[in-house]
Amino acid sequence: MVDRLSPLAFVKMHGAGNDFVVIDSRFGAGGVITAALAAMLGDRQRGVGFDQLAELRASDSADLELDFWNADGTRAGACGNATRCVAALVMAEQGQDRLTIRTARGVLIAERHGAQVWVNMGAPILDWQGIPLARAIDPLHLPLPGDPVAVGMGNPHCVHFVPDAEAVALATLGPEIEHDPLFPEATNVEFASLISADHLRLRVWERGTGITLACGSGACATAVASHLRGLTGRRVTIAADGGVLDVDWRADGVWLTGPVAHVFDGSLSPEFLEAAT
């Protein structure tokens, strides 16, 4: 439990504009984040504001464990850009170039190569039950407007390929598709258009958060879907609203890299924490 009489430290980071609050609980008795606290922190007017929250915890089977929360206080099963941000932070702290990170997705590998931090987000989930979908249908051709593709990356994604991603009414279509009955756990929603060979423009609506400037797992899902549809190769450059991400679908999983920024450190006041009880 959070000590309501003491401040709680946090770090604010972003990857290509996809922003996060990072809380380090590795040295306590357990995780401190609750759904109520995550939702209060995620409020951009009354809290700190974030797309996702990442909580570090100690692990017996990896270098660390990560839990993810959406801005509405719901859990997220995976978050590629947050994983990269945390990996960069811990690598700098410990002087390492490789980390193992346990998540709900499984144990992920992060590696530093020069200035870039890559994370292996694991193999894509391409069966309807694993994604999950509500019934047995072909994930490569969903019976929805636009003929989208469903891909699981530890969280579900619905990827649409359109002539111009800029022209999509994302604020209207995003929540409609997120809560379509075809997705029993709701879904992230992507709209992508081909710019040039192996280069996509991507816009994202994230489950439990809304429009975000980038999405790491969404970029991975989009790269997988575009290759399966024959639009690109297995290595793809993806231009999101907040910056450029690179995805490489290798034999051992889908690898993701892109920019990482440490914005500021802060602490939550005892008064704020008390209000979250």
Q: Is the pLDDT of residue 1 over 50?
A: no
Please tell me whether residue 51 adopts helix, strand or coil conformation. coil
* Domain boundaries 149-251, corresponding CATH code: 3.10.310.10
pTM over 0.75: yes
- Tens digits of residue pLDDT in 176-211: 999 999 999 999 999 999 999 999 999 999 999 999
Q: For the chain, give me the number of helices (H) and strands (E)? A: 5, 17
Q: Is the pLDDT of residue 62 over 70?
A: yes
Distance of CA 26 to the CA centre of its chain: 21
- The pLDDT assigned to 3 comes to 53
The residue count of the chain comes to 277
- Tens digits of residue pLDDT in 232-268: 999 999 999 999 999 999 999 999 999 999 999 999 9
- The topology (CATH level 3) of 8-121+260-275 is Diaminopimelate Epimerase; Chain A, domain 1 (3.10.310)
The amino acid present at 44, given as its one-letter code, is R
Examine domains 8-121+260-275 and 149-251 and report if their fold is the same: yes
Domain boundaries of the chain, sorted by first residue: 8-121+260-275, 149-251
Which positions are annotated as active-site residues? 79, 215
